[in-house]
Structure 1
Amino acid sequence: MVEKDKKNENLAYDTTINILKRLPVKSLVRFKCVSKDWLNLSNSPYFISLHLHHSTLLLLFQRIPLSNNQSQSSSSSSCLIGQDLKVHNPEFFDFALTDKIIGSCDGLLCVKHTNNHMLSILNPATREIRQVPEILHDIKSFSYFGFGFSPIVNDYKVVRISVSDEDRILDLDNIRVSLDLDDIRVTRAEVYSLTSGSWREIDATILQTLYLMSNSVTANGVMFWQAFATDPDAEILVSFDIGREMFTLLEGPPLLPSTSVTHSHTNVLAVHNNKLAMFHCFINGGIESCSIELWVLEDERWVKQYSVGPSARMLYPICIWRDEIVFREELYMRIGEYSAVETVLSLFNPYSDELKTLPAQKDRYYYVSFNYVESIVPVANVHHEQ
């Protein structure tokens, strides 16, 4: 009889977990008050990881002003889109236009507050926030950031790579304009650990002859940036192993030689099935059509996943979401004597050739995007199991 009661008790416990792991974060936060057992369960590393792996993957956009003089908007700077392609819970992302999301990982966001040059790590779903302490060196100098998680050391980390001169650089997210390349060489790097709650300087000697030229992406415990040395066409990728805290360099995928048909190209870093990927984007003829290739790094070897196009529209890939490509299209218009740019966002399935318009605003902003999940991962201490 005792053995039967124990089996029933275990069955009830397993059923409870099976139900709770599928609930939205808002409900789980409320249910912490039900009992001490439910409170302990929701704070356990096992359940946090279980709930994370059952969370729905969402798409987060942030609107970036195209100029520093652009007037502030009364609407939120962010837009969260669900798998039904509708806007979800925008109140969770009420950031100012001066705040910039650096990275998204397991429901945590790393945000740079431009007004005071400080960093925060927050969980928007639970409304927890941690103010990152001041960096070892002056944070006002121009920097590239990365944010990610390493299952090897069970820790979330922020990386800051500094360049030598902020004043001579125009920062427009992926666009860097400088009067002299010698002014934007990497000078130092620091890493912040969520577990230790502190910064420390790390060896960046391997980067000191490089010029970084992109925001970062994180895949499988490694951060990546695009860079070049003296030849802008000789592209290099910088990788940072979050667990080992070590920088290495690798070559990007092979480029097709330029022809009379294809006169320019751009490269965009992405993540495909938790592996590093890169889009090669080619402009064909004038500015009337484009085509893209997606390359994925498989076991230290670049493999071409697919090609798309040529397309009669100028579509710029931003990221990959649920195996589909998020595109940005810039529409140029004239209003009286002035020209204006409006941004249209779309989602493209490379296997069915279906193109869908996303419900973000058509406006005069630059958009960056992130994959995002709601989670109960804490920001005060790391309680995470993979």
Structure 2
Amino acid sequence: MEIYFSEEIIMDIHIRLPVQSLLRFKCASNFWKTLTSDPYFKLCIPSNHKPHRYVILCCCDGLCLLWSYGGAGYLLWNPSTNESVQLPEHGYPYTTRATPSTYRLAFDSINDDYKILKIDNKGSSTSFNKIFALKSGCWRNIGNHCRGFVNNVCGEEDSLAFVRGAFHWIGKDNLSRHFMISLNISNEVYGEISLPEGICNIHGSQICLERDISVLQGMLCAYRTHLSPRDCTFKLWVMKDYGVKESWTELFSIRGPELYQNIGLQMVKCYSTSVCTKMRG
């Protein structure tokens, strides 16, 4: 027997959901798309700050970290309640176009706290990453990895993959060897995870256009796009057992002349959406 809910009940349920869920539900049916397109669900600027030019740096659990060019600085914003908290400054969020900063917001379940990680992409091996804990209300420098490294992420939030209570991203040591860095969000201790062999092996006249990691169905994944004289190739691997190098499995490889740099995250998201659709079907 089918169960029907009135529009008022469905509306009451939807307004309690985080923004990411609302955007997904727009694809569920025409009725839900129309419902969530109602002006009531439209996002507006934080009510307790004057209008400025805002940039969304990262999101987690319906919370958004914003940067305002108009002087308000960093804001942690809840779009559902339209409330925001101004965070202390630590410097401009983008150093130069060549070395932008990447941010990631995550929940620390051990300490019951939200934390923000900020790293400078492709910066000096002597530069320090920063972390912000909402409870303490301040930014802190965190020590570097024992090997010393240069951050090598693409500048997207998803490049700081969050799995098993830790941030993950690709670094490069002083000998130009790539490896995956992990940073436990609770004790703020660095670790290291091996990358799949194929992601670093570039032969002959091949040129690596991008090399990065993300999250796929709750598992770490790694991808690479490289250019050869004839075409481009995109490869995707997934780590089925966390921390076990031997569990890296190549999911697929795509070759074609129309592939381009920064296609990696789009391919991961498309594959994830396809898998979810098949599971629902």
Q: Fold-level match, TM-score > 0.5?
A: yes
User: Residues 218 and 241 (structure 1 numbering): CA distance in 2 closer, same or farther, change over 3 Å?
Assistant: same
- Tell me the amino acid that sits aligned with residue 265 of structure 2: I
Distance 1:21 1:242 in 2: 36
For residue 122 of structure 1, report the CA deviation from its aligned partner: 1.2
Distance 2:172 2:265 in 1: 21
Q: 1:204 aligns with which of 115, 119, 143?
A: 143
2:75 corresponds in structure 1 to: 120
Query: Is the 2:115–2:185 contact (alpha carbons within 8 Å) kept by the matching residues of 1?
Result: yes
Unaligned runs of 5+ in 2: 1-8, 96-100
Structure ranking higher in strand proportion: 1
Mapping of 1:228-267 within 5 angstroms?
228-232=172-176, 234-255=177-198, 257-259=201-203, 262-267=206-211
User: Residues 260 and 200 (structure 1 numbering): CA distance in 2 closer, same or farther, change over 3 Å?
Assistant: closer
Work out whether 1:187 is the aligned partner of 2:187.
no
User: Residues 268 and 252 (structure 1 numbering): CA distance in 2 closer, same or farther, change over 3 Å?
Assistant: same
Mapping of 1:13-28 within 5 angstroms?
23-25=13-15, 28=16
Query: Is the 2:132–2:139 contact (alpha carbons within 8 Å) kept by the matching residues of 1?
Result: yes
Distance 1:299 1:217 in 2: 13
Seq. identity, %: 14
- Tell me the amino acid that sits aligned with residue 236 of structure 1: F
2:271 corresponds in structure 1 to: 325
Work out whether 1:224 is the aligned partner of 2:168.
yes
For residue 21 of structure 1, report the CA deviation from its aligned partner: 11
1:103 corresponds in structure 2 to: 58
Structure ranking higher in helix proportion: 2
Query: Is the 1:222–1:240 contact (alpha carbons within 8 Å) kept by the matching residues of 2?
Result: yes
User: Residues 244 and 185 (structure 1 numbering): CA distance in 2 closer, same or farther, change over 3 Å?
Assistant: same
SS at match of 2:145: helix
2:6 corresponds in structure 1 to: none
Provide Cα deviations, 1:297-321, integer angstroms capped at 9, x if missing partner: 6221242151132245315122544
Distance 2:94 2:234 in 1: 37
Mapping of 1:1-386 within 5 angstroms?
23-25=13-15, 28=16, 56=21, 58=23, 82=27, 89=37, 91-92=42-43, 99-116=54-71, 118-135=73-90, 138-139=91-92, 142=95, 143-161=101-119, 184-194=124-134, 196-206=135-145, 209-214=148-153, 215=155, 216-232=160-176, 234-255=177-198, 257-259=201-203, 262-286=206-230, 288-296=231-239, 298-302=241-245, 303-314=248-259, 316-319=263-266, 320-321=268-269, 324-325=270-271, 349=274
Find the structure with the greater CA-based Rg: 1
Distance 1:83 1:203 in 2: 43
- Tell me the amino acid that sits aligned with residue 190 of structure 1: K
Distance 1:192 1:205 in 2: 16
Distance 1:153 1:211 in 2: 29
Distance 1:312 1:22 in 2: 49
SS at match of 1:255: helix
User: Residues 277 and 83 (structure 1 numbering): CA distance in 2 closer, same or farther, change over 3 Å?
Assistant: farther
For residue 24 of structure 1, report the CA deviation from its aligned partner: 0.7
SS at match of 2:21: coil
For residue 157 of structure 1, report the CA deviation from its aligned partner: 0.6
SS at match of 1:92: coil
Distance 1:56 1:112 in 2: 23
Distance 2:243 2:142 in 1: 23
Distance 1:219 1:93 in 2: 31
Higher RCO, 1 or 2 (CA under 8 Å, sep at least 6)? 1
Structure 1 vs Structure 2 CA RMSD: 4.1
Aligned length: 243
Provide Cα deviations, 1:81-111, integer angstroms capped at 9, x if missing partner: 7456979658427799964333221111122
Query: Is the 2:66–2:75 contact (alpha carbons within 8 Å) kept by the matching residues of 1?
Result: yes
Query: Is the 2:64–2:77 contact (alpha carbons within 8 Å) kept by the matching residues of 1?
Result: yes
Query: Is the 2:233–2:255 contact (alpha carbons within 8 Å) kept by the matching residues of 1?
Result: yes
For residue 203 of structure 1, report the CA deviation from its aligned partner: 3.7
Distance 2:119 2:55 in 1: 16
